[in-house]
Amino acid sequence: MRSAKYLLMSLVPLVAVSACTTLSDQDRALLTSASENAQAAKDQAAQAAKTAQEALDAANAAKTSADASAKSAADSADAAKAASEKCDRMFSKSLRK
């Protein structure tokens, strides 16, 4: 009787643990769905990262172009100022003659 009691006491936790390790079809479907959703999220994140990198590249190209345009505009302003000063000197010289 005593050995049967010990056998039963040790068997109950073993059966309980083994019952927890087996998954029902619904649990398996839920895990599969979660895995597929995680993969889809990973794919979307990769696509978002690629799109963000393309946007960053375009922004950097626009900045480079804007910087070049600003430098060109500054150079043109300097040239216009120099031409205006030359015209003023020439006009002043012609008035003195």
The pLDDT tens digits for 1-32 are 666 665 666 665 665 556 556 778 898 999 99
Euclidean distance between CA atoms 41 and 45, whole angstroms: 6
- Please tell me the predicted confidence (pLDDT) of residue 19: 57
- What's the per-residue H, E or C state across 42-84? HHHHHHHHHHHHHHHHHHHHHHHHHHHHHHHHHHHHHHHHHHH
Question: Span 36-59, mean pLDDT?
Answer: 97
Give mean pLDDT, residues 49-63: 98
Q: Is the pLDDT of residue 70 over 70?
A: yes
